[in-house]
Amino acid sequence: MTNATAVSARRDLSQAPLLVAARGGAPAHPPVWFMRQAGRSLPEYREIRKGTAMLESCMTPDLVCEITMQPIRRHGVDAAILFSDIVVPLAAAGIGVEIVAGVGPVVADPVRTVADVAALPELSLDQVAPVAEAVRLLTAELGQTPLIGFAGAPFTLASYLIEGGPSRNHERTKAMMHSDPRTWHALLGALADIAATFLRAQLDAGVDAVQLFDSWAGALSERDYREFVLPHSKRVLGELADAGVPRVHFGVGTGELLPAMREAGADVVGVDWRIPLDEAVRRLVAADPTAPVPVVQGNLDPALLTAEWSALEREVRRIHAEGKAARGHIFNLGHGVLPDTDPTVITRVVELIHSL
Ligand code: CP3
Tens-digit pLDDT profile for residues 218-235: 999 999 999 999 999 999
Residues near 73 by beta carbon (within 8 Å), at least 6 away in sequence = none
pLDDT average, residue stretch 63-92: 98
pLDDT in tens, 296-313: 999 999 999 999 999 999
Q: Which of 153, 106, 147 is nearest to 251 (CA)?
A: 153
> How many Å apart are CA 46 and CA 321, to the nearest integer?
35
- Per-residue confidence band for 206, with pLDDT thresholds at 50, 70 and 90: very high
Burial of 251 from C-beta contacts in 10 A (0-12 / 13-18 / 19+): buried
End-to-end CA, the chain: 42
The catalytic position among 10, 49, 262, 283 is 49
Q: Is 208 marked within a binding site?
A: no
Mean pLDDT in residue range 164-181:
97
105 lines ligand 1 (CB under 6 A): yes
Q: Is 39 left (phi over 0), alpha (psi -120 to 50) or beta?
A: left
Q: Is the pLDDT of residue 192 over 90?
A: yes
Residue 2, pLDDT above cutoff 70? no
Proportion of the chain above pLDDT 90, given as a percent: 96
Between the alpha carbon of residue 72 and those of residues 31, 46, 77, 195, 316, the distances in Å are 13, 16, 6, 26, 20
Backbone angles phi, psi at 125, to 5 degrees: -60, -35
**DSSP letter string, 191-249:** HHHHHHHHHHHHHHHT-SEEEEE-TTGGGS-HHHIIIIIHHHHHHHHHHTGGG---EEE
Which residues partner with 296 through β-bridges? 269, 329
Q: What is the mean pLDDT of residues 84-96?
A: 98
**Amino acid letter for position 312:** L
Q: What are the tens digits of pLDDT across the range 38-69? A: 998 999 999 999 999 999 999 999 999 999 99
pLDDT of residue 260: 97
Average pLDDT along the chain: 96
Mean pLDDT across the stretch 115-144? 97
Looking at the CA of residue 104, tell me the nearest atom of ligand 1. Answer: 33
CA of 104 to the centre of ligand 1 (A): 7
> One of 78, 85, 214, 267 is an active-site residue; which one?
85
Spatial neighbors of 118 by CB under 8 A, at least 6 apart, are 186
pLDDT band of residue 4 (cuts 50, 70, 90) is: very low
Q: Quick one: pLDDT at residue 124?
A: 98
Above pLDDT 70, what percent of the chain?
A: 97
85 tagged catalytic: yes
pLDDT of residue 195: 98
Does 76 carry a binding-site annotation?
no
pLDDT in the model for residue 10:
84
In ligand 1, the atom with minimum distance to the C-alpha of 252 is: 22
Q: Tell me the pLDDT band of 1, cut-offs 50, 70 and 90.
A: very low
- Confidence band of 6 (pLDDT split at 50, 70, 90): very low
